[in-house]
Amino acid sequence: MPDFLCQTIEPAGGWSVAVGRCDLNYDDRFFRRKVLNTNDNRSVLVDLPQATSLNHGDALVTADGQFIAVQAAPENLYAVTGDNLAQLAWHIGNRHTPCQIDEERLLIQRDEVIGHMLGHLGAVVTEIFEPFTPEGGAYGHGRTHSHEHGASTHHDH
């Protein structure tokens, strides 16, 4: 039996005191139903109505209204730097690669093919180990399990 049951999410900024914390990498922050462990080793059954992408700073809401903080865990990334960051960001986005955009660098998950391509475009690609909090998806929908890009899947807002 899990220590907590969570069926809703409270976005970052909408909660204050947490009774626990789960450190999750980018891939582990996308799910519908999953058993997680807090940093102090308590189990959390998360059962959401639909697959959801959790952001750093969001909280899982327990059945009794308490909060369990979600934190981005460090993971293997590439830091991408260079004089042409806007062009490099375009090439990353054109390949539908999640990207964290900082003022002086771009962060992406390690992918040798993308890293090699960026190097050919003049980027300096450095292996790092940091939390990853990429930008949200196009059209405000965030990520999904599907990679369809037909006209019927996009909605104008």
29 inside domain: yes
Contact 17, 65 (CB under 8 A): no
Distance from C-alpha of 9 to C-alpha of 52, rounded to nearest angstrom? 9
Please give the tally of structural domains in the chain.
2
145 inside domain: no
The stretches in the chain having pLDDT less than 50 are: 138-141, 145-157
Q: Is residue 17 domain-shared with residue 54, that is, in the same domain? A: yes
Q: Which two tokens stand for residue 139?
A: 């059209």
Q: Is residue 117 domain-shared with residue 86, that is, in the same domain? A: yes
What was the pLDDT predicted at 154? Answer: 37
CB count in 10 Å sphere of residue 59:
27
DSSP bridge pairs for 9 = 60
The domain of 54 spans 4-72
157 inside domain: no
Q: Is residue 40 domain-shared with residue 13, that is, in the same domain? A: yes
| Of 107, 99, 103, 101, the residue nearest 76 (C-alpha) | 107
61 inside domain: yes
106 inside domain: yes
CATH number, domain of 82, equals 3.30.70.790
Q: At what angle do helices 85-94 and 112-120 cross, to 10 degrees?
A: 140
- Render 15-27 in DSSP notation, one character per residue: ---EEEEEEE-TG
Distance from C-alpha of 64 to C-alpha of 37, rounded to nearest angstrom? 18
Q: Is residue 80 domain-shared with residue 45, that is, in the same domain? A: no
The 10s digit of each residue's pLDDT in 33-69 is 999 999 999 999 999 999 999 999 999 999 999 999 9
